[in-house]
Structure 1
């Protein structure tokens, strides 16, 4: 999957943050990446990663699954700590682990792909470009874990449905699905209640839902909460 040539319609430059607790790996990865990929930050722990990603707002985060710090949640905890960034920043797990448990956990947290560290420099660069363009990328063997856990149709349809939403609509959708009131969403995102209402109407229309209760159920079924 990651050995295919990079399509011509991908962005000419992609910003990334590299998260791994081994400095020598981060250094090697930086040197192997395509020249069109700009490393704008690095981190070695859960806390550092959340801070750097929130500060830099990269296009893609190359994220190790097992990290020190935080509450022991590793890469999945980093994604959760940056959940309000919406689709502006996408996460690609890059790990030595190829266990089904690790793959499913980080994808459920919100990662758009998962590749192992045996991948080549050209392969990881290709994966970064694809993730930045909105694709999902998995090492061939790992894709089976995701399909087994979520179901082929569910994975495909959820990705397609979420792609219909803007970054702001994704933020509003997640907060509303978690039970926030319109006023609370407005306060959280520093927008007006009227703007929240407009976004919610757009989300319901694009997802073909009729109420916030249906939205909550829809998000829960897809483990987006």
Structure 2
């Protein structure tokens, strides 16, 4: 933790809590801005462009039932160093839905307010460096949610790898409801070639009809 301090913006609707956090941080972290709600957070983040935003997940002006997300319009803001501003959630909530919501919206980590000052400073530095940081019992929520999604993506990729680039083009058009003649015109190939590609796609994916192909593509969000 040498070099310049990590520049942080604190976002929480309780002023006393923000003051308490500032008092617990060491010299390796510099608080360069504060905000009590989403609208002010957007202004401060865009103005000072910190390395890390430490935010509560239930902010006034947020979306959903409490605003469990990164302030809209801030996910693409960059620091003075040209790196993306990174977000670390600090919340009293350890509910799975809050953890998943804030990570899906772009946060790099999620820790609860029971974290020790030393661990919080460490988490801020790690997030600033690009790591993902979670309180131990929350990591399981993230693995369950995103690990399952990663497995599904890997399965789809494996299935698509069986198809050639041209077969993928034909597959998507057929799954969208194109007739063979329409596919041929779209891809500048003969109807006979389309038929050959469709037969190959069905065989490689172990499907028996265009209807099954459409269902397969829709279930994998390939249309």
| TM-score (norm: length of structure 2) | 0.61
Query: How does 1:138-153 map onto structure 2 within 5 Å?
Result: 138-151=134-147
Instruction: Name the CA shift for 1:145/1:13 in 2 (closer, same or farther; >3 Å).
Output: same
For structure 2, the residue ranges without an aligned partner over 5 or more in a row are 154-220
* 1:74 pairs with 2:70: no
| TM-score (norm: length of structure 1) | 0.61
Which residue of 36, 47, 59 corresponds with 1:44? Answer: 36
Which residue in the other structure is 2:7 paired with? 15
Which residue of 88, 95, 99 corresponds with 2:84? Answer: 88
For structure 1, the residue ranges without an aligned partner over 5 or more in a row are 1-7, 158-220
Per-residue CA distance 1:161-201 (angstroms, 9 max, x = gap): xxxxxxxxxxxxxxxxxxxxxxxxxxxxxxxxxxxxxxxxx
Instruction: Name the CA shift for 1:84/1:114 in 2 (closer, same or farther; >3 Å).
Output: same
Cα distance in 2 for partners of 1:47, 1:53 equals: 10
Deviation of residue 70 (structure 1)?
Answer: 4.5
Query: How does 1:142-221 map onto structure 2 within 5 Å?
Result: 142-151=138-147, 154=150
Which residue of 95, 100, 103 corresponds with 1:99? Answer: 95
Which residue of 26, 29, 32 corresponds with 1:34? Answer: 26
Aligned pair count?
149
More helix by share: 1
Higher Cα radius of gyration:
2
Tell me if the contact between 2:56 and 2:89 (Cα under 8 Å) persists in the aligned partners: yes
Look up the SS of the partner of 2:123 in the other structure: helix
Cα distance in 2 for partners of 1:135, 1:121 equals: 19
